[in-house]
Amino acid sequence: MVPEDDFHHSSNSTYRTASSSLRADQEALLEKLLDHPPPGLQRPEDRFNGTYVIFFSLGIGGLLPWNFFVTAKEYWIFKFSNCSIPATAEEPKGSDILNYFESYLSVASTVPSVLCLMANFLLVNRVSVHVRVLASLTVMLAIFVVMTVLVKVDTSSWTYGFFAVTIVCMAILSGAATIFNSSIFGMTGSFPMRNSQALIAGGAMGGTVSAVASLVDLAASSDVTDSALAFFLTADIFLGLCVGLYLLLPRLEYARYYLKPVWPAHVFSGEEQLPQDSPNAPLVAPGSRDSSTPPLRPILKKTAGLGFCVIYVLFVTSLIFPAICTNIESLNKGSGSLWTTKFFVPLTTFLLYNFADLCGRQITAWIQVPGPRSQLLPGLALLRTCLVPLFVFCNYQPRVHLQTVAFQSDAYPALFTSLLGLSNGYLSTLPLIYGPKIVPRELAEATGVVMSFYLYLGLVLGSAFSALLVHLI
């Protein structure tokens, strides 16, 4: 017999606390309880994995446009120089823009993301999740249609005007994508963890697809604008597909089961549902049902440990990728081969990292260890700090203060990038999918937004300190 106080109840999960005889690192996975409810609470099956596929596709759609936007480097070089002539290796006229374009893009994507995350948290109980998802998808599609149209427009006479339009479009796209990603992630908080995992893995697939498309573009493109047009049209089509898939979601019986309005938690002993005013009903912050804004303090208290893991994992990743990774050159660059010049960074940085990241996220569909209360999880997150000096002592160029290159082989950056991507995918996905499961279902969507905030905070901090690291090298 286990005392009632040794359990936490929520409509997402039932699990023992640290004071229970069950150790934190041996906790039963929260999703298992959802997958095996008691008699009378059986849920329908996810036929043909339809819901899983939809969430995976929405994960791709949430990050694919942004990835396509930032990886079209040859197109931006062409547009911000004299776009009436083919791009050349000569110094472009718009070099003052080109030199700082990626920094401007970073600011234009980060600041609106943070603001929109805070706005989305305030809108959780005010605006339906369906409205937020469809509105943000529509805005993303509209922005990409505008950018697709501008591909074939000669902007050489208004380069700075086109630059301003691009930055504004990036800011709007990033804000809309943030609302979409955090809203749809919050929605998956009411589903079993495999659906949250599908959404997060889909985001990594979006990065992999954009990296492959970039390589194809480098290898096969003869005209910059033609390849960019095909590049952007791909994102347009996929965003339109995402709208259709999201509208299909409520028609699936399995999805409808989890999209039902929130009721008091089920007690996993075969009893009937308890009324809300029952003394054994799940505890929800006072006024959380009636308040237009979800209670923030209990969410932060519950998710503090997981939030640290997300922040630190993303901090280390963005400290290294892409600022350090993209400046690691082949030791045989002087040979002049295509592998050591044109394809070295796209292959060893973008494609390898995104593929390893995808693998790490997908592994969480089968292995979910350590558990949400385990001290091993933050320990593994802190261990990733060791990756920073490994990349610094590869052949990063130019080097001013640290002249030593300790790793004298092109295999090392490829190996380290694989470790970076794999650990990022696994150790960031686990706390993200755990977060909405350790709170009552009433707070699952708001918790999803808070977990997204942790993610963006880690990215912002890592990006800021990466500039300092670069100057130290």
Is residue 15 classed as helix, strand or coil in its secondary structure?
strand
Tens of pLDDT along 186-201? 899 889 889 999 999 9
Chain-centre distance for alpha carbon 142 = 22
Short-list 207, 165, 167, CA closest to 60: 207
User: How does residue 95 score in pLDDT terms, banded at 50, 70 and 90?
Assistant: low
Q: For the chain, give me the number of helices (H) and strands (E)?
A: 17, 2
Q: Classify the phi-psi angles of 416: left when phi > 0, otherwise alpha if psi is within -120 to 50, otherwise beta.
A: alpha
Tens of pLDDT along 295-349? 899 999 999 999 999 999 999 998 998 888 888 999 988 887 888 887 888 888 8
Tens of pLDDT along 199-243? 999 988 988 888 887 787 677 766 778 878 887 888 899 999 999
More confident residue, 26 or 351: 351
CA distances from 252 to 46, 48, 50, 247, 284 (A): 8, 11, 8, 10, 30
What CA–CA distance (Å, rounded) separates 172 from 175? Answer: 5
For residue 92, what pLDDT is reported? 45
The tokens for 343 are: 């394809």
What CA–CA distance (Å, rounded) separates 469 from 9? Answer: 45
Between helix 193-220 and helix 411-434 the angle, nearest 10°, is 150
Query: Going from the N-terminus, what domains does the chain have, and what CATH number goes with each?
Result: 37-260 (1.20.1250.20), 290-473 (1.20.1250)
Whether 324 and 469 have beta carbons less than 8 Å apart is answered as yes
Specify burial of residue 468 (Cβ count, 10 A radius: 0-12, 13-18, 19+): exposed
Rounded to the nearest integer, the mean pLDDT of the chain is: 80
For residue 42, what pLDDT is reported? 67
Residue 459: pLDDT over 70:
yes
User: How does residue 283 score in pLDDT terms, banded at 50, 70 and 90?
Assistant: very low
What CA–CA distance (Å, rounded) separates 404 from 253? Answer: 60
Most confident of 29-43, 106-120, 380-394: 380-394
Got the DSSP string for 345-384? HIIIIIIHHHHHHHHHHHHTTT---S-TT-THHHHHHHHG
User: How does residue 471 score in pLDDT terms, banded at 50, 70 and 90?
Assistant: confident
The phi and psi torsions of 8 (rounded to 5 degrees) equal -105, 135
What CA–CA distance (Å, rounded) separates 52 from 58? Answer: 10
For residue 292, what pLDDT is reported? 73
Assessment of whether the complete model's pTM goes beyond 0.75: yes
What CA–CA distance (Å, rounded) separates 410 from 330? Answer: 6
Residue 395: pLDDT over 70:
yes
Chain-centre distance for alpha carbon 178 = 10
Spatial neighbors of 122 by CB under 8 A, at least 6 apart, are 293
Q: Which of 102-111, 259-268, 283-292 has the lowest mean pLDDT?
A: 283-292
Which letter does DSSP use for residue 390 in this model?
Answer: H
Tens of pLDDT along 137-150? 999 999 999 999 99
What CA–CA distance (Å, rounded) separates 453 from 62? Answer: 16
